[in-house]
A and B are shown apart, each in its own frame.
Chain A
Amino acid sequence: MVLLSAPRWLRSRLTDRFWRVQEVLKYARHFRGRKNRCYKLAVRSVRRAFVKSTKARREKKRFLRALWITRIEAASLEHGLKYSAFISNLLKSQVELNRKMIADLAIYEPKTFKSLAALAQRRRQEGFLAALGDGKEPEGIFSRIVHHY
């Protein structure tokens, strides 16, 4: 409201208190108890609700990642692999699916997940063979086998 002279300002009264109160109460309508009706209680509850929702938006990402990891662990155990082996071998075979996708595939595309598990298992075995090497002793080092002549 535009009040054009000083006498008008001094005699002004707050006329849109109802709408200012409704702005806060509309966010509290689904709360339990008197805080969905009484403004003084609602202000505090609504403020806490907003702050909790901002913090929860950051935690949701952590929570969902943990959920996906749990699901991938369960699915890979069904195929005889642990989560650590599965993920590390998939990454070593240059398959860059993220955990959300692998969890979705494990739920909706079981055959695809089985083939991914087989890929990871095969890469794991190749890694073991590569780690064993030739099976010979390294050069220039005394063997622990002592020959008595």
Chain B
Amino acid sequence: VAKTSLTSPPWPEVELPDPVEEAKYHAEVVQKVNKMIATGQYGRLFAVVHFASKQWKITSEDLIMMDNVLEAECGDRIRMEKVLLVGADDFTLVGRPLLGKDLVRVEATVIEKTESWPKINMHFWKRHNYQRKKIIVNPQTVLRINTIEIFPCLS
């Protein structure tokens, strides 16, 4: 049959590796990473956490400031549960979309609850004698991330 522009798709032809061999390779890698986590061969861990409708990239001894009120008193320990990604120097654990609660543990303490600097909202239309000025002060909370721990329960 003659070759036209539509005989083959416009993307280059790719072959995926053998599924059986791939499954074996995946199991090997998972076991290696599990061993590394169990023996504690990682340095500093970083995590991507979804908190206060924002995503933060955090490590231990980190300060985070949120532009809203948290219903915890100063000095309370908080566990952040929605962890999207955890990584160290040699491996990363990517959640789809979240990682399990029995795999990662992120602890934080509430340090400070203050108000933001007074932000000024002004509207002005020229030649119409219209101006409105409003001062907005948002409550803020400061958290210190104490620890990020991972447990070797990969499968």
Contact = CB atoms under 8 A, between A and B. Distances in A.
Interface of A: 47-48, 50-51, 53-54, 57, 93-98, 100-101, 104-105, 108-109, 111-112, 115-116, 119, 125-126, 128-129, 131-132, 145
A119 B93 CA distance: 12
B94 A115 contact: yes
A84 to B, nearest CB: 14
Given A109-B87, A125-B16, A95 B96 contact: yes
B57 A95 contact: no
6 contacts: A47-B131, A50-B122, A50-B133, A51-B122, A94-B97, A132-B9
A10 B55 CA distance: 61
The 8 closest A-B pairs by CB, nearest first: A50-B122, A96-B97, A94-B96, A125-B14, A112-B92, A101-B55, A51-B124, A112-B87
Interface in B35-89: 46, 48, 55, 57, 84-85, 87, 89
A94 B14 CA distance: 23
A128 B16 CA distance: 11
B60 to A, nearest CB: 16
B84 A96 contact: yes
Interface of B: 1, 9, 11, 14, 16, 46, 48, 55, 57, 84-85, 87, 89, 92, 94-97, 119-124, 131, 133
Contacts of A53: 120, 122
A101 B124 contact: no
Contacts of B133: 50
Given A54-B122, A96-B97, A97-B48, A129 B16 contact: yes
A119 B55 contact: no
A48 B122 CA distance: 9
Contacts of A104: 57
A110 to B, nearest CB: 11
B123 A54 contact: yes
Contact of B97 (A48, A57, A95, A105): A95
B23 to A, nearest CB: 15
A100 B92 CA distance: 18
A129 B14 CA distance: 8
Nearest to B1: A145
Contacts of B55: 97-98, 100-101
Contacts of A129: 14, 16
A108 B123 CA distance: 40
A12 to B, nearest CB: 26
B57 A101 contact: yes
Contacts of A101: 48, 55, 57, 84-85
Contact of A128 (B9, B95, B97, B123): B9
